[in-house]
Chains A and B, each alone.
Chain A
């Protein structure tokens, strides 16, 4: 049996695609051909460069205000990636902490947390996110918070289950160790077991975060500035789908590709790390 971790093909494919998106986000000012906010009404509603009427300068065409779609797509990767990483991290943090707490203490604490998770999951996620953003106000921070608030339950369940397993073992083997030291040992024991799964959930959560941001933009509740977001592009595209269908198609493709990449990465990690988990 090999000791090395054999990553499945999916992991590489997903990671590569995600890397492209991250690169777009990081290097947008240098790789985007135009200023995403620059309007040129003379060049409005141009189709992609390879179809009739297109211009080479605007590879994917322009929107109704003459803004280059390719540049807007590239810049759109920024809020997408910020939201993905920050949202997933925050959700993971909240979920992990609550899960550890519930699993460790058991009893009343566990019951409360479990009820909380159930109540939380009784909300349609979309509605909850809309309510939240309506409450907190628009902006990237609100979106990140919304994602964390909606999806922490995903992490909580997993961590709680694993912690419970560890806690029960500890009861049996080290009855003498009490209080603080047991807590620390629990932390040290639970985390390594749970880390691979958390990593998988994190990557999956990133994909979800991108979609939630798109949904919020679509409903008009995301970032209020002019900076393009993929969801915002979708909303514009939906409005003008009959005149400029590529305006809708391209951001959909971008979102879909990112989500697929995150899923491939997450699924692949889960599959690759399975033998590791069954120690």
Chain B
């Protein structure tokens, strides 16, 4: 199965590239016009156009782009005047850290809620969790982010609402991974500040996913718990918690894992807006500006990166599936 997905990855990426390429060039609005200064002459404009290859036909441009991409050349950003690959690699770490933090929170919260709802089935605890789950699923991450800004950032200021670090702190991570590197280098003040700033953005992203995980995991846990071998486990002397954790959980993970995988790609997509809302220097934030300014090379690079990320996530999910379900292995 993972191999099959790998094979499909190439045409999918290709398709993505084609769509983006064509769409952007159909757009009204001249990228060149947007970047030139007031004193530009027609010669200047023509020179720029040739530099960026806009003087050729769309198919020609595509072929050239593909050729260059194969050698790792993704062009130069029109607005930021830097190499696209360099820009993407600079902003990618934050998006990754944010996404992974959100995923971790979603698993903890969602998994915990499902386990609690099952362990206290039939009581008020289960009813409350079910209610919350239904409520939380409906509200998209964007709204959670905004609500957080309002309630936690302004009304009772417990969370910072803009930026990645406390302005008094200075720290330049070599790898670009603020959380990871600050922790590894022992700068706990920086780590704490970054975590503080990333907490609500990550939580906003995680809540809808957590609610979905909770719902699906609870349903499959209940299904597993109705099986014979669970009854037998009780007769073997295992306590209810041991039965839940040891015997039931692993077999119940399947559907939740599939869901988490699919939804994680949506979560990554959600970082675009959350980064914008909280002023975080990630890929998505850069993407919005790139689109508004018609920075074609940069847009292409970013979209390609997102597509690649999605494929990797799906691959990881496939591999995990074979680990938890022995019947898929041989």
Contacts and interface: CB of A to CB of B under 8 A. Distances in A.
Contacts of A264: 138
B297 to A, nearest CB: 14
A137 B11 CA distance: 30
B134 interface: yes
Contact of B276 (A132, A219, A255, A256): A219
Interface in A232-271: 234, 238, 241-242, 245, 248-249, 252, 255-256, 259-260, 263-264, 267
Given A259-B140, A259-B143, A122 B307 contact: yes
A119 interface: yes
Interface string A1-18: 000000000000000000
Contacts of B138: 207, 259-260, 263-264
Interface stretch (A26-34, A50-58, A123-131): A123-131
Given A115-B12, A134-B27, A252-B143, A123 B303 contact: yes
Nearest to A131: B291
Chain B contact surface mostly: helix
Contacts of A134: 27, 29, 291-292, 294
A260 B240 CA distance: 36
A234 B146 contact: yes
Interface in B128-151: 134-135, 137-140, 142-143, 146-147, 149-150
B142 A211 contact: yes
B155 interface: yes
Interface stretch (B16-24, B117-125, B244-252): B16-24
Interface range, B side: 35 or more
A255 B142 CA distance: 11
Most buried by A among B269, B306, B310: B269
Contacts of B12: 115, 118-119, 122
A260 B137 CA distance: 9
B287 interface: yes
Nearest to A207: B138
A259 B138 CA distance: 7
Interface in A133-184: 134-135, 137
Interface size class of A (residues with CB under 8 A): 35 or more
Given A242-B154, A252-B150, A125 B269 contact: yes
B67 interface: no
A74 interface: no
B270 interface: yes
Interface string A185-219: 00000000000000000000001100100110011
Contacts of A126: 269-270, 272-273, 284
A119 B23 contact: no
B149 A248 contact: yes
Nearest to B134: A267
A241 B272 contact: no
Contacts of B27: 134-135
Of A118, A126, A242, A252, the most chain B CB neighbours within 10 A belong to A126
Nearest to B267: A124
28 contacts: A115-B15, A121-B265, A122-B307, A124-B265, A124-B266, A124-B270, A126-B269, A126-B270, A131-B24, A131-B299, A134-B291, A134-B294, A218-B142, A218-B273, A218-B276, A218-B277, A219-B276, A219-B288, A241-B150, A241-B153, A245-B155, A248-B146, A248-B150, A252-B150, A256-B139, A256-B147, A260-B139, A263-B138
Interface of A: 115-116, 118-119, 121-127, 130-132, 134-135, 137, 207-208, 211, 214-215, 218-221, 234, 238, 241-242, 245, 248-249, 252, 255-256, 259-260, 263-264, 267
Given A124-B306, A131-B303, 12 more contacts: A118-B8, A119-B19, A124-B284, A127-B291, A131-B299, A135-B23, A211-B140, A241-B150, A248-B146, A249-B150, A256-B143, A260-B135
